[in-house]
A and B are shown apart, each in its own frame.
Chain A
């Protein structure tokens, strides 16, 4: 084996890389910028205080105490930004996207809702206009409505004048009907509600709180990350995704460079040297992997120094996953150069495939928001394992053993690409 020649080829590739300022900028600066952007974006949504409020409209056609109370509650919610509007204006603004949803309380809502609370019959309708591109917002609004309406309607039943009127009306209605066991219990429930209401009305309740039904629990959320108390750093995921994407870009570039090299006189000079295919392939593998390793090192250094990303898991595990990915990238570039046709066509197809893999791998948006079938398919993309492996070793804070499977999958793919590359590499002419 001509070690001197291999070393000369590697050194030359590194010199070419160093002379190419564009490669350095695209391969290092771009991923840092984009990861910073994505990390900032996702970081916002994960904390309540900083999150952008969802703009919704409310239309109060009823104007009752109940609807006014519900709207006041909704307007006070930190996740919503509420604008009272007329029906047509609300529809128009949802259509334009100014409001993400509009809730309409029709005439009679207050009255009917108190009655329906006990009987379950003749429920009033709340109309909801939704922006179809904002499915999450419409669900959020429905959840909010359920919570606040329940609270305010029951409060009215137990405390308000309209509630008392309604209860009396229903009791009168029920007393004209034949008495069954169930009906008697219901009447007793209503009568005790009415007594409660009377106490409130006479101001003799002796208690400042006005009784109402409410959701009988509160949710305490804890982000499960490396160690309790360490806040989730959304930059950690975005840096994993973007370094994978832009290192693959560089891998494609390396492949294209080899394709172009083969069309130049230089190829003849290399072929005229006492050098075999194996030595050439080995040199290319090493030089491309070294360049990838350089990229990922600088990108993660920036992530750590500027964006406080930490390797909370195992450092050797991180190095293992990153190293396996760098080798995969080198083999991927080589394979491209051997199966590709013309340089522009190869670059186009490779970029498309690569972006698809990167997207499926969860580098852009976390893969858990994918539908089930897509999550299943993502398991077959090496990018998924690369991103997951880097995630595991950084913000998830998992031990070295969790790096083994990702590294093994990446290495298996490397061998596959390499086998194709060696098989298809035309060295003899």
Chain B
């Protein structure tokens, strides 16, 4: 990709996160380049959400370092990190009882936007996800796919450089998934850096330049999609080869 903005958007070094005795994220390191789209793949419980939580400033790391645009997160740097990162949470993060517009007005307001700027950002975010016409409707009247799209719009208001998307397409029909995909491609073309998790290998093949495959809190592979496809035939085979065929929910125990 020919880009004037080069260098690392995100640098992660030896990041660790524990819940009691369980190590959710185990000393991982990786970089994401500006404008790159990276898939974070892994079975249930691999540590994807925990990783994104630390990258978005929601959860503190037990150890390790995060640099966003070369600035270290933590202390005063934490606010800077939060301003340049947009998080799309895995669970729908919307007030069902309020309209789409009111939801986005809150999320924009939390980022420090107000007045005409806020109104403009709310409208452009809704337009991008194709919900401008439904702006005044209560979220509880939306379909699952529409909620997912609004969930993405909620992270766009402050026009963040880095977007962290936690399973943005989970539980929606193929049409809605395609719509979401189109949205993500627009974002990617617009120069945003995307780090997103999914269980759908096809999605990752279609959208990502590179994937990180994670399991048990560790990164097992960090490679361009093309290379993994060349080595294993397709991404799914690569995934199963690296993470094994065992069922995950059964072995949730203290390591």
Residues of A within 8 A of B (CB): 2, 4-5, 7-9, 11-12, 15-16, 19-20, 264-275, 428-429
Contacts and interface: CB of A to CB of B under 8 A. Distances in A.
Contact of A272 (B82, B90, B91): B82
B79 A20 contact: no
Interface stretch (B8-16, B106-114, B184-192): B106-114
A268 B87 contact: yes
Given A8-B105, A268-B53, A429-B58, A273 B95 contact: no
B85 A4 contact: no
A269 B154 contact: yes
B97 interface: yes
A9 B107 CA distance: 9
Interface string B78-97: 01001101010111111101
B223 interface: no
Contacts of A273: 82, 107, 110-111
Contacts of B112: 2, 4-5, 274
Given A272-B56, A274-B82, A265 B108 contact: no
A4 to B, nearest CB: 5
A15 B101 CA distance: 12
6 contacts: A11-B109, A264-B91, A264-B93, A272-B56, A272-B58, A273-B82
A274 B87 CA distance: 12
Contact of B109 (A5, A264, A269, A272): A5
Contacts, number: 92
B85 to A, nearest CB: 7
B110 A275 contact: yes
A9 B95 CA distance: 13
A16 B98 contact: yes
Given A2-B112, A9-B109, A274-B79, 18 more contacts: A4-B109, A8-B114, A9-B106, A12-B109, A16-B95, A16-B98, A19-B97, A266-B93, A267-B93, A269-B93, A269-B107, A271-B57, A272-B56, A272-B58, A272-B87, A274-B112, A429-B53, A429-B58
A15 B98 CA distance: 8
A312 B250 CA distance: 70
A12 B97 contact: no
Interface centre among A19, A265, A267 (most CB of B within 10 A): A265
B94 A266 contact: yes
Nearest to A428: B60
B241 to A, nearest CB: 32
B181 interface: no
A268 B93 contact: yes
B114 A429 contact: no
Nearest to B79: A274
A258 B18 CA distance: 26
B240 interface: no
B107 to A, nearest CB: 6
Contact of B98 (A2, A19, A265, A428): A19
B142 interface: no
A16 B95 CA distance: 8
A268 B58 contact: yes
Nearest to B82: A274
Of A267, A271, A275, most B-chain CB atoms within 10 Å: A271
A271 B58 contact: yes
A272 B95 contact: no
B114 A4 contact: yes
Contacts of A19: 97-98, 138
Contacts of A275: 110
Given A268-B58, A272-B58, A429-B58, A8 B108 contact: yes
A113 B85 CA distance: 98
Contacts of A270: 110
